[in-house]
Structure 1
């Protein structure tokens, strides 16, 4: 094998690790990596007893949680499993989870599942720190979807009134993340693919999000290309672990951890998703299926010239020819996203989720943060077109 062949052979390696110098100390990835990565991470952070936090369906309908529990039991580090975390992380589950965390004497949470248990675990640790005044305790995240909640410093959860709110602190980012594609095989197809569009939403909106440095924007280009390639492959062959592993890596690239990041909506698509998700019980991934493509098209009217150039540049990475104009390229990107959503069988409407038309102005106002925002009529029109 020549040196060039050796380089090419290793370029698609699906196993490895990455370490962050602050709160996020290690990301381990690769099929089957749970067995080696979880012991390493527990030892690195000095944790002795874990509370596993997950959702009811994952706990009752799959063996995924049992696999994690078994690794912890072999290490004599298993405390208990809490599985009352619902969609959009309701505050009632967070309060009950905090109580069980204290009852079992846990010093670490191992969150297993999608964005809801991972965000709920951050919230549990946030409120635990607020109660004790001591240091933040740690979370190890084992995601089974592509929503990428594990890479942020914030936790979104739903109040008793049904309003999505957030807490954030740099210490809330998980101390360890394990991307084991074998654990995603039981994830329902619609959830898996729609959270892939959520990851695409991260990558696209990071192209015009303030304070994202150019090197990370280029990672987002790579994420966009891989999500467009491997989401259809994963739909065609749901048992292809290599495609799933590459999608997990694309999800990571879509929202690469930023040391100075604060938890906030990345852009208009995310802001709209936050407002319609919990309020109308629309899953995270589906909100992106609804809002991303039209939001991208709207950037031809709203974005700065620099941000437009970044958006238009995505076509090159998708190996699509330019239309000859920046605005035309952005509209073509929007159409490509729309076609991807359609091809994955994820098209939906606000009518399907029983969102009253009368609520549209209020949703738009909340997403923009002001009734006086001059963009408000355009956002109202965007939402009206989703029925």
Structure 2
């Protein structure tokens, strides 16, 4: 008898602690030795020492790796992996932005690979992620982005999903305005792409809609006043909620294009996403054509969520795009790639390779409209 296997599912493996002072949960952690993966900023601001002190109260000794750099490459992960092995850690803590959490995930991923080549099964340490920016949602996802030979590579593996996420918005109160804008838009793109993904479900839709509302209601306030505790909490929560969604649905070509573009021209991931967003929505919704497909319908539903006119798919999509443009303008996001000072001939010379890289990116398969290489080139050109 043939059995039909149903693959639809929603998975959330991470326990989430949130709001002010939730960092103190570390006092209750069980373990003996911890490797803390961080960056020098968290050390300077004193949050790294807080983590060490709270773990000490739990009887856990700490080894610290602060070699994290933006867009971590395999050499940085190799350095962290060496220290992880030497420490004998049964607890792994990542505190910092997406790069710190991605580095910790990279350590887990490659250590498991090495162990498996020797026929061993790696016991997973208790993995705790503490984000210091409100953008990646990496604290609840099985995604990691690392750089190898100058290109950003997306790793997707359930093993690297954190066991515990701690969302204490005091850790993000010193974030510069530009980073608030970049990471906030990244949250928005995560939620939008998860909502229009070919793997979207009722469960992920609910998360996406809530995340998008939280961003529209709170991001500009946080951008203007980082001391506003309520806005900080809500934006950080929105980031995590969007992460819960896209770890189940995958993303789309906005991220594929941003990975390739940002890695080549060294532009922050959130800013890259922001600059590409309008043209990607226009392509997915086929606004140059009938605008009557799945993606247009989904964007129009998001317009309704924001209480914008959406009598037709086209009207809803256009009004949603206008709302996004207004938000980006309030966050002082540039209108186009040219505004970043990128030379046009240099940009055009890179287009073929950028498009080929984006086409092969692991975020592309769940995009609602499958693009050709030429489609991706045209999107880049439109954004310049």
TM-score by length of 1: 0.85
**Counterpart Cα distance in 1 of 2:70 and 2:348:** 24
The partner residue of 2:286 within 293, 301, 304 is 301
Counterparts of 1:273-312 in structure 2, within 5 Å, are: 273-301=258-286, 305-312=293-300
Give the structure 2 partner of residue 27 of structure 1. 16
Give the structure 1 partner of residue 162 of structure 2. 174
Assess if the C-alpha contact under 8 Å between 2:129 and 2:164 holds in 1.
Answer: yes
C-alpha distance 234-325 of structure 1, shift in aligned 2 (>3 A): same
Give the structure 2 partner of residue 52 of structure 1. 36
C-alpha distance 197-22 of structure 1, shift in aligned 2 (>3 A): closer
Assess if the C-alpha contact under 8 Å between 2:12 and 2:140 holds in 1.
Answer: no
Shift of 1:353: 5.8
Shift of 1:30: 1.1
1:325 has 2:312 as partner: yes
**Counterpart Cα distance in 1 of 2:243 and 2:87:** 34
**Counterpart Cα distance in 2 of 1:267 and 1:76:** 44
Give the structure 2 partner of residue 95 of structure 1. 78
**Counterpart Cα distance in 1 of 2:94 and 2:278:** 31
RMSD (Å), alpha carbons? 2.3
**Counterpart Cα distance in 2 of 1:68 and 1:24:** 23
SS of the equivalent of 1:136 reads coil
Give the structure 1 partner of residue 379 of structure 2. 382
Shift of 1:348: 5.8
Query: Which aligned segments of 4 or more residues in structure 1 are displaced greater than 6 angstroms?
Result: none
SS of the equivalent of 1:256 reads helix
Assess if the C-alpha contact under 8 Å between 1:315 and 1:329 holds in 2.
Answer: yes
Deviates more, 1:107-116 or 1:346-355: 346-355
Assess if the C-alpha contact under 8 Å between 2:137 and 2:241 holds in 1.
Answer: no
**Counterpart Cα distance in 1 of 2:268 and 2:353:** 20
Give the structure 2 partner of residue 77 of structure 1. 60
**Counterpart Cα distance in 1 of 2:375 and 2:239:** 30
C-alpha distance 154-349 of structure 1, shift in aligned 2 (>3 A): same
TM-score by length of 2: 0.85
C-alpha distance 308-238 of structure 1, shift in aligned 2 (>3 A): same
Aligned length: 354
Assess if the C-alpha contact under 8 Å between 1:296 and 1:331 holds in 2.
Answer: no
**Counterpart Cα distance in 1 of 2:26 and 2:331:** 33
Counterparts of 1:96-245 in structure 2, within 5 Å, are: 96-132=79-115, 133=120, 134-146=122-134, 147-159=136-148, 161-245=149-233
Deviates more, 1:293-302 or 1:221-230: 293-302
SS of the equivalent of 1:135 reads coil
1:256 has 2:244 as partner: yes
Give the structure 2 partner of residue 270 of structure 1. 255
Assess if the C-alpha contact under 8 Å between 1:126 and 1:136 holds in 2.
Answer: no
**Counterpart Cα distance in 2 of 1:142 and 1:304:** 42
Structure 1: unaligned runs, 5 residues or longer: 1-20
**Counterpart Cα distance in 1 of 2:243 and 2:97:** 15
Deviates more, 1:214-223 or 1:298-307: 298-307
Assess if the C-alpha contact under 8 Å between 1:293 and 1:335 holds in 2.
Answer: no
